[in-house]
Amino acid sequence: MGYAAVAVTAVSQWYMGLAALSDLVGGFLLGAAFANLALRVGGIDAILTSWVNRRLSRASSEKRAAVIYNPTKTLFLRKALAQGKVAKGGAAMLVLQAVRAHEIWNGDSYTDKQIESIICDMEERIDEQNQTK
């Protein structure tokens, strides 16, 4: 909502001739630079941690999932696991989708143990690739 108000104000000032387009572009760039500086000084980790804590405290379910698969354990997942929640990352979701597709197309079936083994192997490979970078 705040972004819309800023955009409407900027466009209306330009439309009414109260501000030149170059002033609006310069203001936008200055604002973006200030926001970038504020994030760096305040620490993006502190902001992200605050967001994650709010998300975890709002939900009543004991299960958590994240669509990000790299890194395998995001801040969200680490905090959920620390709270004793069942947490799965994006790698698990990719594997589960692939397993289901394989079952549909090929008529195969997999045990939970096999699926968990595939997920662990995939996460280990992702972590190994991240260590070599």
Q: Identify whether 71 is preceded by a cis peptide bond (ω within 30 of 0).
A: yes
Residue 89 region by backbone torsions, left for phi larger than 0, else alpha for psi between -120 and 50, else beta: beta
Per-residue pLDDT of the chain (133 residues; tens, 9 = 90+): 456 776 777 788 778 887 788 888 888 778 777 776 766 665 555 556 666 666 666 666 666 666 666 677 777 788 888 888 877 788 888 888 888 888 888 988 999 899 889 988 988 888 888 787 6
- Is 0.75 topped by the overall pTM? no
